[in-house]
């Protein structure tokens, strides 16, 4: 990858007003969470992860273990909020992932089909729409709906799988994490919708959550929670018993130590991942390779 071209592309994206696309560190972050976070040494002994971000609130008591619920019901990915991606961030991502899917002879799942935005062109001529980079070889597009990845609880083995790693390597070679602003949320979404079955995806509708100006406010009423949430389902006790400090607002910054150093490794990685890179310090040690300047 030519660094001068990368710098010019990032600047052009920023000048065009594409969300966060002018920040090189944001490109690094998206690439890291798309294909390297599950390789971090601190996570190798774990099967499940819960992604915690700064500037989030959890506004309801969580009265059950979400990891146990995911495992018990054979889930691989859980989310709280789904949004539409800004299409200018990833114009060629869907085509790239669709091409890989076709090359691997992976059948379309119901979730994959649900994300398709069918072409309006009559069938005999529909394939001509494939000339556009944002459509697949059949001329269809993606509706841009994605799981917002600042909250996700998922099975690390899904991302460690041979298929996901093969898919990421294809994306890595195409350079879209820098020449465009491919986000980890659409990458995770399209991969999950392609490689998992609908019953393996879980919407945590009973977790009150906020990030930025988007909220999920569950109907926290008796009978409105999961069957195992006995406290919230008691007729006369809508909320779980209070604990010191209050259970209804989680200070995420104070709980970053739960990530066992992953956050610190990520920040070290990000600082080492400048486009003017000339050394291979902590970033390489953390398993996050620097941009390949030889191709």
Residue 129 dihedral angles phi and psi, to the nearest 5°: -70, -15
> What value does the CA radius of gyration of the chain take, rounded to a whole number of Å?
21
Q: Tell whether the model's pLDDT for residue 157 goes beyond 80.
A: yes
112-127 tens-digit pLDDT: 999 988 777 677 776 7
Instruction: Return the active site residues.
Output: 152
Is 207:62 a contact under the CB 8 Å cutoff? Answer: yes
Q: Is there a contact between 89 and 182 (Cβ–Cβ < 8 Å)?
A: yes
Contact 6, 290 (CB under 8 A): no
pLDDT in tens, 226-281: 555 554 444 344 333 444 443 333 333 333 333 333 333 434 344 443 332 222 23
Burial zone of 93 (CB within 10 Å; 0-12 exposed, 13-18 middle, 19+ buried): buried
Most confident of 62-71, 164-173, 195-204, 266-275: 164-173
Q: Where are the domains of the chain?
A: 46-263
User: Under CATH, which architecture does the 46-263 domain have?
Assistant: Alpha-Beta Complex (3.90)
- Give the separation between CA 145 and CA 190, rounded to whole angstroms: 9
Rounded Cα–Cα distance for residues 30 and 272 (Å): 15
- Residue 86 dihedral angles phi and psi, to the nearest 5°: -75, 120
State if pTM tops 0.85: no
Residues 66/154, Cβ–Cβ less than 8 Å: no
By CB atoms closer than 10 A (0-12, 13-18, 19+), residue 252 is middle
Q: Provide the phi-psi class of 210: left if phi over 0, else alpha when psi is between -120 and 50, else beta.
A: beta
Q: What is the pLDDT of residue 16?
A: 96
Written as six digits, the tokens of 89 are 């961030």
Tens digits of residue pLDDT in 59-82: 877 878 889 999 999 999 999 999
CA distance 193 to 110: 8
Q: Which residue has the tokens 């070290």?
A: 268
């Amino acid at each position: 990858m030519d660094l001068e071209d990368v710098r010019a592309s990032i600047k052009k994206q920023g000048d065009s007003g594409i969300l966060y696309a002018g920040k090189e560190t944001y490109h690094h972050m998206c690439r890291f969470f798309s294909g390297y976070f599950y390789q971090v040494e601190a996570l190798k002994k774990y099967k499940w992860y819960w992604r915690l971000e700064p500037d989030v609130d959890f506004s309801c008591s969580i009265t059950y273990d979400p990891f146990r619920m995911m495992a018990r019901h054979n889930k691989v990915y859980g989310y709280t909020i789904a949004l539409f991606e800004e299409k200018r961030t990833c114009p060629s991502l869907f085509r790239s992932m669709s091409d890989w899917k076709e090359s691997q002879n992976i059948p379309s799942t119901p979730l994959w089909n649900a994300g398709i935005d069918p072409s309006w062109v009559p069938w005999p001529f529909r394939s001509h729409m494939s000339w556009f980079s944002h459509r697949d070889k059949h001329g269809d597009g993606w509706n841009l709906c994605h799981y917002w990845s600042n909250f996700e609880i998922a099975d690390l083995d899904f991302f460690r799988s041979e298929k996901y790693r093969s898919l990421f390597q294809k994306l890595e070679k195409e350079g879209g994490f820098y020449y465009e602003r491919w986000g980890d949320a659409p990458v995770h979404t399209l991969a999950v919708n392609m490689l998992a079955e609908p019953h393996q995806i879980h919407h945590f509708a009973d977790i009150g959550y906020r990030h930025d100006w988007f909220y999920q406010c569950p109907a926290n009423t008796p009978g409105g929670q999961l069957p195992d949430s006995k406290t919230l389902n008691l007729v006369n006790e809508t909320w779980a018993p209070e604990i010191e400090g209050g259970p209804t607002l989680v200070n995420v910054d104070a709980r970053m130590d739960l990530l066992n150093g992953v956050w610190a490794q990520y920040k070290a990685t990000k600082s080492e991942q400048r486009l003017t890179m000339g050394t291979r310090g902590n970033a390489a040690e953390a398993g996050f390779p620097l941009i390949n300047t030889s191709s």
